[in-house]
């Protein structure tokens, strides 16, 4: 080969090499960046070219896909009883992305998850159109309906969480007011965008897209006294629920001249733990928190899950119990006020741990992930999270909570032939307690065989109710009762 031809060959070889390097750079190094580029419509068109997998409750899909009539996107999401299930499913929108289970398990639902590689390869070989896999939840449809209907009937705002104490399965997760994700599942500027804007907090003060079960923290009020009672028992401050406590009346908070008052003229002086929980004595539980001190109270709260985010797999906000508080601040925090704040999920975890003889199971709401032909991809196994109570102390606390429902402030939660334990709470709200308080109820049900199929937390915030009519026993306990009954009935 003469010299000019050799130069041309080398130059052409370098061009080919540069082309190969550039091609590999784009296909591998830059692949994720190009895929995420908002100007790359191929990816999003391909995303909606196939039917999305379903979210399953009790063996039935609560989601679906429908062919669109216009535009580049072939399929869009549909929802059955969308407003009821929105706190679980979240939304999948061509215009606004996805959230909650629709977002967390998006790879499975679209069929693009790496764990579906074999299924995708098989579909390519057989020429079958790609389909998404399914997300099988732990939810109980009857319990969810009871929770949502109860909140809707009550009006105002609120949330319900129900757990299976022995496993941590989430049986109900309701938030009110809610929204229907179907209304903005497409990408029409005239309909979907308009529906989305109407739901935003700046345009709708009720904030229907806020998941109050997982993403709102409230002062738990007297329901937190269950945690304080657990701390008293676990730290040996009191060894039973019948011995008298060292609780003068009035009890002046340390470092102040201010007594920690009780609601009305109730028998709280030196009351036993059982009677103090039955009557919801602020003075008794405030003094317990002060006597134990911030460190011990914080340690016990952490055992129940406070101060940590929960992933179920959707992220739930961390509940709060503060550090570095003085005795009086610790006293107020120990009755669920001051800086103490909890999600409804957190307070359901408190009731669940007591019902499960002191063992707290990690909460979760996805039982199984499936491929498009329902082959199992991943199964969630129950996992112990912590042990806030010894079995003996848990049984003492069960006796206390059952007395609250039998003879105390929680009688509206009684269920015939079922043992129910509970605790009411009416938490102060607003500057100087100026706003309507929050009404709480936490509970569990126990069957004749000793098993506990469900623990529930309910919170109600109702700005329109008459202040004197707001109580955990009056507003929240009936909803918890209906949810517990729904779970019990579904197991028969």
**Average pLDDT estimate for 113-140:** 76
Query: What would the pLDDT profile of 143-154 be if each residue is shown by its tens digit?
Result: 999 999 999 999
Q: Which has the higher per-residue pLDDT, 400 or 5? A: 400
Single pTM value for the model: 0.90
192/24: higher pLDDT: 192
- Closest by CA to 400, choosing from 271, 265, 266, 264, is 271
Task: State which fold the 221-366+386-490 domain adopts.
Answer: Beta-lactamase (3.40.710)
Which residue in the list 65, 182, 222, 247 is annotated as catalytic? 222
Question: Six-digit token pair at 87?
Answer: 């706190």
319 is catalytic: no
443-454 burial code (b ≥16 CB/10 A, e <16): bbbbeeeeebbb
455 vs 122, 344, 391, CA distance in Å?
Answer: 44, 12, 17
Query: Where do the structural domains in the chain lie, given as residue ranges?
Result: 221-366+386-490
Q: What crossing angle do the helices spanning 391-407 and 344-355 adopt, rounded to 10°?
A: 110
Return the axis-axis angle of helices 282-292 and 225-234, rounded to nearest 10°. Answer: 50
Q: At what angle do helices 391-407 and 225-234 cross, to 10 degrees?
A: 140
Work out the average pLDDT over 229-246: 97
Angstrom distance (rounded) from CA 378 to CA 371: 10
Of residues 166, 110, 100, the one with CA closest to residue 137:
100
Q: How many residues appear in the chain?
A: 492
* C-beta neighbour count of 246 within 10 angstroms: 12
Average pLDDT, the chain: 90
Write the pLDDT tens digit of every residue in 249-279.
999 999 999 999 998 899 999 999 999 999 9
Helix (H, G, I), strand (E, B) or coil at 378: strand
Tens of pLDDT along 441-469?
A: 999 999 999 999 999 999 999 644 433 43
Helix ranges, 203-326 (H): 225-234, 273-279, 282-292, 294-303
Query: What residue ranges in 257-383 does DSSP mark as E strands?
Result: 310-311, 315-316, 360-361, 366-370, 376-379
pLDDT at 40 over 80: no
Render pLDDT for 350-369 as a digit per residue (tens, 0 to 9).
999 999 999 999 999 999 99
């Amino acid at each position: 080969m003469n010299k000019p031809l050799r130069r041309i060959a080398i130059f052409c070889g370098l061009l080919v090499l540069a082309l190969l390097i550039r091609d590999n750079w784009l296909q591998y190094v830059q692949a994720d960046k190009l895929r995420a580029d908002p100007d790359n419509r191929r990816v999003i068109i391909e995303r909606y070219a196939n039917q999305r997998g379903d979210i399953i409750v009790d063996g039935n899909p609560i989601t679906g896909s429908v062919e669109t009539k216009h535009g580049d996107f072939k399929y869009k999401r549909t929802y059955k009883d969308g407003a009821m299930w929105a706190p679980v499913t979240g939304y999948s929108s061509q215009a606004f992305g996805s959230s909650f289970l629709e977002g967390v398990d998006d790879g499975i639902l679209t069929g693009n998850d790496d764990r579906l590689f074999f299924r995708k390869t098989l579909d390519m070989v057989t020429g079958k159109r790609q389909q998404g896999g399914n997300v099988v939840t732990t939810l109980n449809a009857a319990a969810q309906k009871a929770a949502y209907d109860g909140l809707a009937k009550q009006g105002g705002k609120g949330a319900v969480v129900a757990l299976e104490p022995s496993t941590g399965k989430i049986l109900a997760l309701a938030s009110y007011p809610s929204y229907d994700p179907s209304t903005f599942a497409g990408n029409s500027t005239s309909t979907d965008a308009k529906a989305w804007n109407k739901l935003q907090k700046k345009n709708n003060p009720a904030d229907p897209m806020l998941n109050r079960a997982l993403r709102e923290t409230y002062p738990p009020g007297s329901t937190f006294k269950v945690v304080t009672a657990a701390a008293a028992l676990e730290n040996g401050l009191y060894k039973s629920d019948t011995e008298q406590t060292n609780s003068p009346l009035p009890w002046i908070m340390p470092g102040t001249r201010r007594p920690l008052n009780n609601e009305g003229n109730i028998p709280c002086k030196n009351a036993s733990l059982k009677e103090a929980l039955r009557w919801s004595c602020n003075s008794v539980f405030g003094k317990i928190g002060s006597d134990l001190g911030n460190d011990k109270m914080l340690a016990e709260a952490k055992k129940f899950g406070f101060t940590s985010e929960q992933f179920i797999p959707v992220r739930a906000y961390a509940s709060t119990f503060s550090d570095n508080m003085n005795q009086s601040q610790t006293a107020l925090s120990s009755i669920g006020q001051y800086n103490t704040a909890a999600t409804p999920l957190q307070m359901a975890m408190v009731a669940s741990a007591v019902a499960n003889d002191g063992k707290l199971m990690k909460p979760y709401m996805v039982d199984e992930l499936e491929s498009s032909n329902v082959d199992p991809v991943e199964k969630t196994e129950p996992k112990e999270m912590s042990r806030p109570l010894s079995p003996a102390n848990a049984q003492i606390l069960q006796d206390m909570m059952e007395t609250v429902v039998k003879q105390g402030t929680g009688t509206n939660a009684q269920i015939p032939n079922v043992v129910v334990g509970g605790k009411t709470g009416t938490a102060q709200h607003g500057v100087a307690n100026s706003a309507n308080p929050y009404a709480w109820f936490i509970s569990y049900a126990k069957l004749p065989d000793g098993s506990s199929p469900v623990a529930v937390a309910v919170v109600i915030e109702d700005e329109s109710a008459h202040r004197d009519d707001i109580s955990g026993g009056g507003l929240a306990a009936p909803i918890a009762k209906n949810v517990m009954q729904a779970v019990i009935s579904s197991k028969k």
